Structure 1
Amino acid sequence: MEHRPLSELSHVADLQVPDDVKAPVLSKRERLDRWIELLERAPDRELKTLDEIEWKPRAQRLALRADGSALTVAYADPVLRRAGLRSDTFGDAVDFFQISEHDAHIVLCSCHGGEAMRADEAARRVRGIRSPSLWALYFGWFR
């Protein structure tokens, strides 16, 4: 399956949302909670990490994605897509979840989880960025 942003698909197909279907308005916390919930549905699932995010030039970093990543789990959810998640790229996730690139790096990068990590570990990391005061409990260090 080839992944493309909606902006590219509009040239191929007429994409319209019916008038009676409104996009849900989700707070930052609700978006992150939904992502955690999706990850925890299959806690043993192996998810691919994004390769060495911090070493990529900004444009390449923002476009970074991997099949079977924690971002793919989020983007597969129709609720998050209707709420505005445009793709499963690093940049779109940072924008949609309203998180810093640093926080996204901690959740998604291969330097923190190897080539893959379990979905429950990804959920734990998302929980950590959702509640920064809990970082010390999750990772043993302070921000």
Structure 2
Amino acid sequence: MKHQTLDQLHAVAKIESSAAYSAMTRNQRIERWAELLEQYPERCLAAFAGTEYLPLEERAGVRGEGSPIAVAFEDPVLRASGLKDDTYGEAKRFFELSDWQLHEIVCDCHAGATMKARWAAARVRATVRGNGFFAWLRQRIMY
């Protein structure tokens, strides 16, 4: 059996979604994102440059081929659950993350220009899990 993406299938057939995805909770969406990243742990992903310095409007529209967010958008389950595109702003909305949390996952100041998918998966989990008191304190100070 040959694996094809939904977009590839659309080129040769009319596709109608009959699978009804139940509403995923925030934690389920984030966990799925981490699992998708872990499927190819050595995959090199692109980081976003200086997200914390961009104006809010510009930051929301930032996207990059091969970014951790693009990996999430490649998934038909997350798209069917409401992920509309692979921009920073959409990932922030869909995964219900603060700017600080998403910055921790995708910004080049933490990983350099590229990162391994396994590193990004660990950041996804660590960012939402936090680190006890210091994560709580940072959240209170920053937002």
Q: Is the TM value for this pair above 0.5?
A: yes
Q: What one-letter code is carried by the residue in structure 2 that aligns with 1:108?
A: V
**Among 20, 44, 61, the residue aligned to 1:63:** 61
- Listed one character per residue, the Cα deviations across residues 76-97 of structure 1 (whole Å, up to 9, x for unaligned) are 0000000000111000000000
Are residues 93 and 17 of structure 1, via their aligned partners in 2, closer, same or farther at CA, if it must alter by over 3 Å? farther
The answer (yes or no) to whether the contact 1:129–1:135 under 8 Å persists in 2 is no
Q: Displacement, 1:98?
A: 0.5
Aligned twin of 1:104? 102
Q: Does 2:26 correspond to 1:39?
A: no
Aligned twin of 2:115? 117
> What is the 5 A alignment of 1:9-88?
20-88=18-86
Q: What one-letter code is carried by the residue in structure 2 that aligns with 1:56?
A: L
In structure 2, C-alpha distance between the alignment counterparts of 1:108 and 1:135, rounded to whole Å? 23
Q: What one-letter code is carried by the residue in structure 2 that aligns with 1:132?
A: G
Are residues 53 and 17 of structure 1, via their aligned partners in 2, closer, same or farther at CA, if it must alter by over 3 Å? farther
In structure 2, C-alpha distance between the alignment counterparts of 1:132 and 1:114, rounded to whole Å? 22
Higher helix share: 2
In structure 2, C-alpha distance between the alignment counterparts of 1:68 and 1:26, rounded to whole Å? 24
- 5+ unaligned residues in a row in structure 1: which ranges? 1-15, 137-141
In structure 2, C-alpha distance between the alignment counterparts of 1:91 and 1:24, rounded to whole Å? 23
Moved over 6 A (4+): none
The answer (yes or no) to whether the contact 2:68–2:117 under 8 Å persists in 1 is yes
Structure 1 residue matching 2:70: 3-state secondary structure: helix
- Listed one character per residue, the Cα deviations across residues 107-135 of structure 1 (whole Å, up to 9, x for unaligned) are 00011111000000000100012212469
Percent identity over the alignment is 37
Q: Displacement, 1:53?
A: 0.4
